[in-house]
Amino acid sequence: MKHRPLDEPSRAARPHPVDVPWNRRPGPPAPPEPTEVDPAVLGALLHRHGWRRHGGAGGRYGRWTPPGPAGAGTSLLVPESRSFPDSDDLLGEALDALARSGAPSARAVLVALTLPSDEIRWWRDIPDGPAGAVPWSADERLRGAARQMLLAVARTTRARTGRHGARPRRPAAFLEHVLVDSAADGRRLTAFVPVDPGRPLAVRLHQALHAVREAVDHRRATGSMDAFDSAVLARHGQAVGRELTEAVAALVRGTEGVRVAVEWAPAAGVPGDCAARAGAVEFSPGDLPVLREAGARCLHAGPPVPVRITGTVVRMRRSRPHGEGTVRLRVLAGAEARYVHLTLGEEDYRVAGHAHLAGLPVRVLGRLEHRGGSCRLTGAFGVVPARAEGEERDRPVKPPQEDQEDQEDQGDQGDADFCEEACGGDGCD
């Protein structure tokens, strides 16, 4: 038996189980101070979330009641302005009543008051299961598609292109500032995007969704995909690309229809070039073939994208012993493509050849283009050997003699014919 030394301080006593809040649910959100709330903003938020106004002295105050049976017995007396002495008292009572209310919309109103935010809402019309239940995966699909949509738009705030592929995922860190409020049935989800710094994302999403809707309608009416091409490079920068069309398709799949709406923060006003009440954008399962076609088209659309690619040399060719030559790389990192073709100057071509003989990948800078299913790196420069990692370190290197035989088998074909044959055999993503 061990004894604790007399000079050792005693440990804190374990709390009694009754005092441990292991089964205590989080309490209601703390309401903001009445002096920080604009009565006009509170009234606009109540109206947005379905609260109904009844009577009240004109120009002085209004009485609001929540929608549905969940908020039965709740009634708010909200002043129209601060021009009356009892305005702060009425606002304080209204905020306390919101905090105690059991209406689901009451919490959303308090969140919007505390953090001025643009609200993005998603609805999925999914079939009911037994006794009105929905599948467990319904909520996961809704959240996954919504997250995919926000990330697709966040990346386009940096540059417009048909796809963003393996670009840095730093926009994902932006989602840490976004708050969510979802319904228990997996059919509805609301994201609160802070006006600072998230207003550009909400504006871009608003424009992009309407551009996709118009392009889908144009395709179904005329059979032309030109609207998607113009949306990728639109003057106002709609974020229409492969990632967004895939996110919309993921939201629609398995439903009878979906809706997405963007509501602007009353405290910040309506941004320029955006409608105050544009309504929700709707998509149906009948739009899925067009969305898939648009995603494939966006894969090969858009301007060249600056990239840094790491890959292994699988083929080299030049028509003379000296000068520039054509190289084919199997991509390891930096782009969502299996193979890319590039033309290198004499020095870069020599470095690539030595790296190939040493069994090392190379790293190269350039601008990635997609042409007719092939992937090409234009303006390539700065070729340096890279360290092989993981399974690439143990991959056997193709013998130089075998590579030379492949080059001789190519005959006198030009660089263009060689690239077409190489990409046609294996394809590009």
Res 231: pLDDT: 61
Res 361: pLDDT: 96
Do residue 57 and residue 34 come from a single domain? yes
Do residue 181 and residue 278 come from a single domain? yes
Do residue 272 and residue 325 come from a single domain? no
Task: Answer yes or no: is pLDDT of 236 > 80.
Answer: no
| Domain-embedded: residue 8 | no
What average pLDDT does range 192-207 have in this prediction? Answer: 90
Do residue 414 and residue 325 come from a single domain? yes
Do residue 274 and residue 344 come from a single domain? no
Do residue 310 and residue 344 come from a single domain? yes
Q: Is 117 exposed, middle or buried (0-12, 13-18, 19+ CB in 10 A)?
A: buried
Residue 33 is given by DSSP the state: P
| Domain-embedded: residue 216 | yes
Alpha carbons 356 and 315: distance in angstroms, whole number: 9
| Domain-embedded: residue 1 | no
Q: What is the pLDDT of residues 133-145, one digit of tens each?
A: 778 888 899 999 9
Do residue 142 and residue 270 come from a single domain? yes
What average pLDDT does range 240-266 have in this prediction? Answer: 91
Give me the DSSP letters along 138-189.
HHHHHHHHHHHHHHHHHHHTT---S--TT---GGGGGGGG-EEEE-TTSSEE
Q: Which of 333, 388, 344 is nearest to 366 (CA)?
A: 344
Domain of 349, in residue numbers: 305-426
- Distance (Å) of CA 113 to CA 29, 44, 118, 121, 268: 11, 11, 11, 17, 12
Task: Answer yes or no: is pLDDT of 398 > 60.
Answer: no
Do residue 83 and residue 196 come from a single domain? no
Task: Answer yes or no: is pLDDT of 335 > 80.
Answer: yes
Give me the DSSP letters along 415-428.
HHHHHHHHHHHH--
Res 297: pLDDT: 73
- Going by pLDDT thresholds of 50, 70 and 90, the confidence category of residue 228 is confident
Q: Which of 93, 114, 135 is the last residue of a domain?
A: 114
Q: Which residue has the higher pLDDT, 395 or 152?
A: 152
| Domain-embedded: residue 146 | yes
What average pLDDT does range 198-214 have in this prediction? Answer: 90
Q: Which of 299, 328, 357 is the last residue of a domain?
A: 299
Structure tokens at 67: 């929608």
The rounded Cα 331 to chain-centroid distance in angstroms is: 25
Task: Answer yes or no: is pLDDT of 189 > 80.
Answer: yes
Over the chain, what is the mean pLDDT?
A: 78
| Domain-embedded: residue 325 | yes
Task: Answer yes or no: is pLDDT of 416 > 70.
Answer: no
| Domain-embedded: residue 2 | no
Res 388: pLDDT: 63
What average pLDDT does range 314-342 have in this prediction? Answer: 91
Q: Which residue has the higher pLDDT, 307 or 57?
A: 307
Do residue 180 and residue 254 come from a single domain? yes
Task: Answer yes or no: is pLDDT of 111 > 50.
Answer: yes
Alpha carbons 342 and 375: distance in angstroms, whole number: 9
Largest CA distance in the chain: 93
Pair 231, 244: CB distance under 8 Å: no
pLDDT over 90, % of the chain: 38
End-to-end CA distance of the chain: 69
Alpha carbons 373 and 311: distance in angstroms, whole number: 19
| Domain-embedded: residue 4 | no
Do residue 183 and residue 242 come from a single domain? yes
Do residue 139 and residue 43 come from a single domain? no
**What pTM was computed for the model?**
0.63
Pair 232, 245: CB distance under 8 Å: no
Q: Which residue has the higher pLDDT, 71 or 215?
A: 215
Residue 408 is given by DSSP the state: H
Task: Answer yes or no: is pLDDT of 302 > 60.
Answer: no
Q: Which of 299, 331, 355 is the last residue of a domain?
A: 299
Q: What is the pLDDT of residues 25-82, one digit of tens each?
A: 445 557 788 889 999 999 999 999 999 988 766 668 889 998 877 656 778 999 988 8
Number of domains observed in the structure of the chain: 3
| Domain-embedded: residue 246 | yes
- Going by pLDDT thresholds of 50, 70 and 90, the confidence category of residue 177 is confident
Do residue 82 and residue 138 come from a single domain? no
